[in-house]
Structure 1
Amino acid sequence: MAVLRIFLLGAIGLISHSALCAQTGASNSGNSLTESTTRGPHFDASASKNVTALLGKTAYLNCRVKNLANRTMSPQVSWVRHRDVHLLTVGRYTYTSDQRFRAIHQPHSEDWTLQIKYPQHRDSGVYECQVSSTPHLSHFIHLTVIEPDTEIVGGPELFIDRGSTINLTCVVRHSPEPPAFIFWNHNDAIISYTSSRGGVSVSTERGETSRSVLLIQKAKPSDSGNYQCNPSNARPANVTVHVLNGEHPEAMQHGGNQRMGPSLGALAFISYVLLAYC
């Protein structure tokens, strides 16, 4: 009986200890949950990053604020431009006369977005997302407005021998996203790669630096003229192609007219007149 009593007391003690641990764990879990839900407003940096925008193409600066509505009085989120310390938006309202700026916020969303239409180079700089909590919170986002650069390699003039291949390479740099398309024009008309002329092809590679290569086989004098590379998100680039038919490039650059000195006959006549008056 003594052994049985000791066993029962040990079992009761073990059960009591397990129950206490479970209760303590539940209490700690509850404290952790309460702590996470009562934490004040804070920024989600992963959703509030610096922005690179194309010149003239709408830019969106996003600021994600978590736990903003956990207080009795919800703080306001504002956008301030650092260049001139100008208040742009407060909440869902815009406080600037520049109609390019607009506050965007959907109900129950954690995202507070500043929209900038037709951004210019002067719009580049630091923008501050503010939360009117205690203490005051700020998150800084840098906007960079860039203009892609387009170049046709070897321009602005190219001289090609008749019967050879015209090889034009268009390069698009400094673009935050690849161009959706790159068109080629010849004398203001879009080049057709399936025309009856034949021998015309194009290959395009898109990336941080995009390239489009136009090949025209067996060049003819009629292939001379202005060629233009037209990316969808950048200014066009131009090159003038001269298909030579036995001419020298120097003569082409002077419009085919070389300046000649006085003829021998003219020099002889001038000499005769001068001698006659001596």
Structure 2
Amino acid sequence: MCPNITCVIVNVPEPDTEIVGGPELFIDRGSTINLTCVVRHSPEPPAYIFWNHNDIIISYSSSRGGVSVATERGETSRSVLLIQKAKPSDSGNYQCNPSNARPANVTVHVLNGEHPEAMQHAGNQRMGPSLGALAFISYVLLAYC
């Protein structure tokens, strides 16, 4: 007699990382850069989420000041990077790098009074944070302050 063989196929989604509003964001000089990284479909929450600016890990205690991060771990994890008083040197590539998922990138342009309509870029462009990001930050600030 042949043994019974049962074949089970399990589809496990690969963890997905996204920076809300990307791949490009246009921010006015002097305003707050608000980047929200969302990690979905992770078998467990990431142990950490690092943020990089132009391939260098962001230090939250740097002499620049005004840089903070709030992270919420769960079935869907979120990390919000806030940079107060944006200046042109804050422009560049930002990367959200969770411990257990692929990184996500966004290019930030800090504008000196220019209008993004005059720049020729493909894709959707948004100014500033989304309503959902603002609600999340408000929640974090109320919960921890």
Q: Give the CA deviation at 1:176.
A: 1.2
User: Does the C-alpha gap of structure 1 residues 249 and 203 become closer, same or farther in structure 2, counting only changes over 3 Å?
Assistant: same
- SS at 2:52 equivalent: strand
Q: Give the CA deviation at 1:263.
A: 41
Structure 2's unaligned 5+ residue stretches are: 1-6
- Mapped to 2, the partners of 1:204 and 1:272 lie a distance apart of 12
* Per-residue CA distance 1:122-158 (angstroms, 9 max, x = gap): xxxxxxx9999999xxxxxxxxxxx100000000000
Are the aligned partners of 2:28 and 2:112 in contact in 1 as well (CA < 8 Å)? yes
Greater Cα shift, 268-277 or 184-193: 268-277
Q: TM-score normalised to the size of structure 2?
A: 0.73
- Mapped to 1, the partners of 2:130 and 2:54 lie a distance apart of 39
* Per-residue CA distance 1:51-92 (angstroms, 9 max, x = gap): xxxxxxxxxxxxxxxxxxxxxxxxxxxxxxxxxxxxxxxxxx
- SS at 1:176 equivalent: coil
Structure 1's unaligned 5+ residue stretches are: 1-128, 136-146
Number of the residue aligned with 2:96: 229
User: Does the C-alpha gap of structure 1 residues 131 and 270 become closer, same or farther in structure 2, counting only changes over 3 Å?
Assistant: closer
User: Does the C-alpha gap of structure 1 residues 251 and 275 become closer, same or farther in structure 2, counting only changes over 3 Å?
Assistant: same
Greater helix share, structure number? 1
Greater Cα shift, 208-217 or 257-266: 257-266
Q: Give the CA deviation at 1:273.
A: 70
Cα RMSD of the aligned pairs, angstroms, is 19.8
Are the aligned partners of 1:225 and 1:241 in contact in 2 as well (CA < 8 Å)? yes
Number of the residue aligned with 1:133: 11
Q: Give the CA deviation at 1:267.
A: 52
* Per-residue CA distance 1:153-204 (angstroms, 9 max, x = gap): 0000000000000000000000110000000000000000000000000000
Higher RCO structure, 1 or 2 (CA under 8 Å, sep 6+): 2
